[in-house]
């Protein structure tokens, strides 16, 4: 065994990305035994709106439908109305920036994205990745831009470029606002930087969670206004209504 592997196994601790329990470095998935069962149950949950299995559910917020022609990518259901343990995966990305969480979620997004691209005859190599940047206060509080990290991880897995195109001057948290307020806040918060780069290009617009679709709508609208040829929203999770 290489010295680097011995050091990793000795000094690097891993935590289950759902419950935080310490797990073996050799575990393939970033879950403890108990949470592995939770994950298996999660991926088989049916949509509360259409009753289809997750794999076949195509339900989207109206705003997302309007800017993506009904094509969008998401991996799992997220339940904003409860304290579902599965939500912890999103929180470990937002608040702790766990590498295991980011890498795992990027992998799940990749699988779903390639499935959707194949379904709609989309060539992912024609696209670049961009993302709604975290607001400055969030970066100051947590020390990182979680969406940038997620976008860059997906970029590496797909072998396509990730580029920062948005500045976020927002002051209010989207989670504290209702549906109408979220849209207004998103529209006034995001600005395009390097606008000349956008024209004629296709983008996967990556975020962590799709709830009302306000952020995705506002950013996609800016991309289209600056000449983007196509924009497909891509998130790890979608609120299960």
Do residue 30 and residue 95 come from a single domain? no
- % helix / strand / coil in the chain, to the nearest 5? 45, 15, 35
178 — pLDDT class (breaks 50, 70, 90): low
Domain match, 21 and 129 both = no
Q: Report the pLDDT averaged over residues 165-193.
A: 77
Residues 66 and 183 in one domain: yes
Domain that holds residue 24: 1-42
The answer to whether 170 and 215 are in contact (CB under 8 A) is: no
Percent of the chain past pLDDT 70, that is, above it, reads 90
Q: Is 97 domain-assigned?
A: yes
174 contact partners, CB below 8 Å, separation of at least 6: 182, 185, 186, 211, 214, 215
Whether 5 maps to a domain, the answer reads: yes
Domain membership of residue 76 (yes or no) is yes
- Residue 150 CA neighbour count, 13 Å, CB half: 33
Contact 154, 216 (CB under 8 A): no
Same domain, 11 and 98: no
Q: Are residues 23 and 121 in the same domain?
A: no
Q: Is the same domain home to 140 and 191?
A: yes
84 pLDDT higher than 90: no
Per-residue pLDDT at 188 = 86
- In total, how many domains does the chain have? 2
Q: Which two tokens stand for residue 44?
A: 């088989």
> Confidence band (pLDDT; 50, 70, 90) for 131?
very high
For the residues 67-93, what does the mean pLDDT come to? 89
Residues 218 and 110 in one domain: yes
How is residue 239 written in tokens?
């609120």
Q: Please indicate, yes or no, if residue 69 is contained in any of the structural domains.
A: yes
H or E element, residue 99:
helix 99-119
Domain harbouring 109, CATH code:
3.40.50
Write down the H helix ranges in 159-227: 179-189, 214-225
In terms of domains, do 8 and 124 share one?
A: no
pLDDT value of residue 12? 62
The more confidently predicted of residues 190 and 13 is: 190
On whether the CB atoms of residues 126 and 200 are closer than 8 A, the answer is: no
Q: List pLDDT tens digits, range 191-229.
A: 999 899 999 999 999 999 999 999 999 999 999 999 999
Mean pLDDT across the chain, nearest whole number? Answer: 89
**Do 157 and 232 lie in a common domain?**
yes
Among 43-57, 136-150, 162-176, 204-218, the least confident range: 162-176
Domain match, 86 and 124 both: yes
Q: Which of 207, 148, 150, 183 has the alpha carbon at shortest distance from 66?
A: 183
- Tell me, what's the pLDDT at 162? 98
Do 27 and 115 have their domain in common?
no
C-alpha dist (Å) from residue 192 to 12, 25, 43, 59, 196: 39, 41, 35, 28, 10
Global model pTM greater than 0.95: no
Domain membership of residue 117 (yes or no) is yes
d(CA 130, CA 147): 10
Do 31 and 88 belong together in one domain? Answer: no
Give the tokens for residue 165. 């195109």
- Decide: 16 and 32 in contact? Cβ < 8 Å: yes
Q: Which of 44-48, 96-100, 152-156 has the highest mean pLDDT?
A: 152-156
């Amino acid at each position: 065994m290489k010295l680097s592997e011995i050091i990793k196994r000795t000094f690097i601790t891993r935590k289950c990305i759902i419950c935080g329990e310490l797990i073996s470095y050799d575990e393939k998935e970033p879950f403890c035994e108990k949470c592995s069962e939770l994950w298996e149950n999660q991926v088989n949950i049916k949509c509360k709106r259409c009753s289809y299995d997750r794999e076949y559910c195509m339900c989207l917020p109206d705003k997302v439908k309007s800017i993506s022609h009904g094509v969008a990518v998401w991996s799992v259901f997220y339940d904003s109305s409860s304290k579902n343990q599965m939500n912890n995966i999103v929180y470990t990305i937002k608040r702790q920036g766990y590498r295991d969480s980011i890498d795992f979620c990027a992998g799940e997004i990749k699988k779903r994205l390639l499935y959707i691209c194949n379904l709609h005859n989309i060539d992912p190599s024609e696209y670049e990745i961009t993302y709604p940047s975290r607001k400055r206060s969030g970066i100051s509080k947590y020390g990182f831009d979680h969406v940038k990290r997620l976008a860059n991880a997906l970029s590496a897995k797909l072998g396509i470029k990730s580029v920062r195109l948005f500045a976020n001057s927002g002051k209010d948290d989207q989670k504290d606002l209702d549906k109408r307020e979220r849209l207004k806040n998103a529209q006034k918060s995001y600005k395009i930087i390097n606008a000349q780069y956008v024209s004629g290009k296709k983008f996967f617009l990556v975020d962590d969670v799709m709830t009302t679709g306000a952020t995705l709508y506002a950013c996609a609208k800016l991309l289209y206004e600056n000449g983007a040829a196509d924009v497909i929203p891509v998130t790890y999770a979608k609120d299960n209504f």
